[in-house]
Structure 1
Amino acid sequence: MKKTTLSLALAITMILSVPAVVLHPSSTVVAADASGTTASISDILKNQQQDGGWKKDYAVTSGEWAKSTIDNKATYSEIRRLASEYKKTKDSKYSAAAVKGIHFLINMQYSNGGWPQVYQSSGYHKHITYNDDAMINVMILLDEVANKKGDFSFVDSSLASKSKQAVDKGVGCILNTQVVVNGKLTAWGQQHDSSTLKPAGARVYEVPSLSASESTTIVKFLKTRTANTKITASIKAAEDWFKAVQITGIKVVKENGDVVVVKDSSAKTPIWARLYEIGTNKPIFVGRDGVVKYNLSEIEKERRTGYAWYGSWPANVLK
C-alpha cells in the first residue's frame, strides 16, 4: 500500500441532504461546531489559552468545558485557520499562535498515543476519544505538519519531527485499541479507557460498544499509512467486521417528526447501526435512561430523532 495524504474532508463523516420522507442512512444530527470554526481571526488569537489550546465555546468560563479540547472541531480548526492566515499575510503573530497550538496537541497526547477529549479533565472527557472523529482529525493535522504540507510549510524541522512521532504513536494506539472478540480483531469504540484501552462509555446513551461510524474514519486513516503486517491485518479485520454486521432489508423513515425503521425487502443497499454490542454484534440503541435496547422504537422520541443511529459510513471503504 502506498502512503498517501488524507484530505481533511475524508476524515469528516459524510453528511447528505435529507429527503422529505425517507432518511438517507448517512443523515446525522450534528452538534454545534466549536466557536473557532466561525470566530474572527482576532477572536481566535484572543481566546487561545495559556496551554496553547482553545475551548469549545468561547463564552464558557468555568467547568470542564472551559478547558482546552478537541471536541466539535475545537483547537485543530483554530490552528488550521491561523496557518492559512499566516500564509496570506506573513504576519508572524499567526504562525506563532499556530505553532503554540500544535505544541499543545503534542503535549495533550497520552504516552500510549491516544488523545483525550478535554485536556487535563475528569470523567469520560479523559477517555481516548475517537467519537466524532476527534482524534483522527488531530492526527490528520499533525500528519500535514510532519510533512510540511499545505499551509504548514512554515514549520521548522524540529516541530515536523515531533509531529511525525505523535502521529506514529497515534497509529500505535489505534492498533492497540482495536477490540478483540474471541481471539479475532473487530473494530473500535467511540472512546476507550486511557488506562485499560478497552471501550468505555461517555454520555449516558453512548455505552461501551463498537462503532461503525468512528471505525470507518479510523480505517480510512490507516489506509494512508505505509503498509506493514499489523496495519494490513487491522484494516482487513475491520473490513471483515463491516461486512459481517451490515444490514439489508430495512429503510429508515422520517414520518410525523419521528424516525422509524421499516422492513423493506427491496432495500438491497446495506446500512449500518452506529453502535453494536460487543460479542454479539447486535445493533444497540440507548435512551437517556442508559438502558440498552435492541430496537430503535424502544427508546424515547427525543433520542430517536436526536442521534445518528443508522448510516452508510463503511460503504466507502468497502468499495
Structure 2
Amino acid sequence: MKKSTVSAALAFTMLLSGPAVLLQPVATVMAADASGTTASISTILKNQQSDGGWEKDYSEDSGEWAKSTIDNKATYSEIRRLATEYKKTKDSKYSAAAVKGINFLLNMQYANGGFPQVYQSSGYHKHITYNDNAMINVLVLLDEVANKKGDFSFIDSTLASKSKQAVDKGVDCILKTQVTVNGKLTAWGQQHDSSTLKPAGARIYEVPSLTAQESVNIVKFLKTRASNAKIAAAIKGAEDWFKASQITGIRVEKKSGDVVVINDPNVKTPIWARFYEIGSNKPIFVGRDGIVKYKLSDIEKERRTGYAWYGNWPAK
C-alpha cells in the first residue's frame, strides 16, 4: 500500500489485481452487480425512486430489497452514469436525476457519518455497512462531487459544500468505528451497529468480527485524506494489524468442486482470512448454523465454496 497521501480524485486499485489500475469504484468480490451497472440510461431514469435512490434489482417490487440501497454498486453507479451522460449530451434531465441521487445519499447518511446498506430499513440492513465496500464507494463519489471532479464539474457550490461535509463526517465515522483490542487500534468489521458503532453481524454466517478484505479499502481511502494525528494512527494501527494477521505456510485450492486448505511450509507468500475473531485474532469460519469454527473444513461445503474465506487483499 502506498504510504504517501494521494489525490482524492484517484480511485482505488482492483482487489486481487496485478499492476495498479486507476478506477473509480472499488471492485466488489463474489457479488452480483446491481441493475444500474448495466441498464440503459432510459431504464435508469425510469427506475429512480421518489427518494432519489435506486433499488439493487429493478425487478423487485416488495420487501427490503425494493428500497433504495448502496448494496452491490446500486445508486452510486446510476449517479456516475447519469453524470457521464449529461457531460456527453448536456441534457438537463440527466444532471437533474444525478443531483437528486446525490441528495438522496446525503439524506441517507446517519448523523454519526455512517451509511446503512438500505435506506430506512430494518435488521442488519440498517447497520453502517463497509461490506462489499459500500460506504467507501459512496464516500469516493461524494468526494469527487465535493471537488467537482471529472463528470461532476456541473455541480453547484452548495451541493459541493454539503458533499464535503458528508465526506468529513464519513471519515469521522471510520475513525470511531475502528476496533481497539487491548489498547491497540486494529481493523473494522463488515458492518457496525448504527448506535453503538461496534462490529455487528449480518447474514447468519457473518458474525461480528474483524474483516481483512473491507479494511484494506478503508485504509486506502484514509490515505487520500489530508493527514492528521488520528488518521495517521488509524492507518498505522490497521497496517500493523494486517502484518500481525497474515498467514503463511498454507495453500487454499479448489479441488473437485470443493475448497481445501493444504499445509505447505514452503509457502512464504502471505494470505489473510476474511474474518478474524475479536480478541483472539484467530481466523474464523461460519456456516449456516451460525456457529464459529476455526477450520474451513469444519463448515459445510456449500459455504466453503460459496464465500471468499481467504484472499490476498492487504498484500499491496
What TM-score results when the alignment is normalised by the length of structure 2? Answer: 0.94
Is residue 7 from structure 1 mapped to residue 13 from structure 2 by the alignment? Answer: no
Q: 1:28 deviation in Å?
A: 8.8
Conserved 8 A contact 1:204-1:288: yes
CA offsets 1:47-85 (integer angstroms, 9 cap, x no match)? 000000000000000000000000000000000000000
Q: 1:220 deviation in Å?
A: 0.3
CA distance in 2, matches of 1:85, 1:65: 27
Conserved 8 A contact 1:13-1:217: no
**Aligned partner of residue 96 in structure 1, secondary structure:** helix
CA distance in 2, matches of 1:236, 1:185: 8
CA distance in 2, matches of 1:61, 1:227: 44
CA offsets 1:206-256 (integer angstroms, 9 cap, x no match)? 000000000000000000100000000000000000000100000101110
**Aligned partner of residue 187 in structure 2, secondary structure:** coil
**Aligned partner of residue 266 in structure 1, secondary structure:** coil
Q: Compare relative contact order (CA 8 Å, sep 6+) and give the higher one, 1 or 2.
A: 1
Alignment match, 2:294: 294
**Aligned partner of residue 260 in structure 1, secondary structure:** strand
CA offsets 1:263-311 (integer angstroms, 9 cap, x no match)? 1111111000000000000000000111100000000011000100000
Q: 1:15 deviation in Å?
A: 6.0
Alignment match, 2:120: 120
Alignment match, 2:145: 145
Q: 1:7 deviation in Å?
A: 3.5
What TM-score results when the alignment is normalised by the length of structure 1? Answer: 0.93
Letter in 2 for 1:201: G
**Aligned partner of residue 30 in structure 1, secondary structure:** coil
Conserved 8 A contact 2:117-2:126: yes
CA distance in 2, matches of 1:269, 1:262: 14
**Which consecutive unaligned segments of at least 5 residues does structure 2 have?**
19-26
Q: 1:183 deviation in Å?
A: 1.4
Q: CA RMSD in A?
A: 1.4
Letter in 2 for 1:58: Y
Alignment match, 2:275: 275
User: Alignment length, in residue pairs?
Assistant: 305
Letter in 1 for 2:192: H
Is residue 172 from structure 1 mapped to residue 179 from structure 2 by the alignment? Answer: no
Conserved 8 A contact 1:28-1:308: no
CA distance in 2, matches of 1:300, 1:146: 46
CA distance in 1, matches of 2:6, 2:149: 14
Conserved 8 A contact 1:29-1:306: no
Q: Structure 2 vs 1, CA of residues 246 and 147 (structure 1 numbering), >3 Å: closer, same or farther?
A: same
Alignment match, 1:21: none
Alignment match, 1:219: 219
Q: How does 1:98-117 map to 2 (within 5 A)?
A: 98-117=98-117
Alignment match, 2:238: 238
Conserved 8 A contact 2:52-2:100: yes
Alignment match, 1:200: 200
Q: How does 1:239-258 map to 2 (within 5 A)?
A: 239-258=239-258
Alignment match, 1:89: 89
Q: 1:13 deviation in Å?
A: 3.4
CA distance in 2, matches of 1:306, 1:247: 21
**Which consecutive unaligned segments of at least 5 residues does structure 1 have?**
17-26
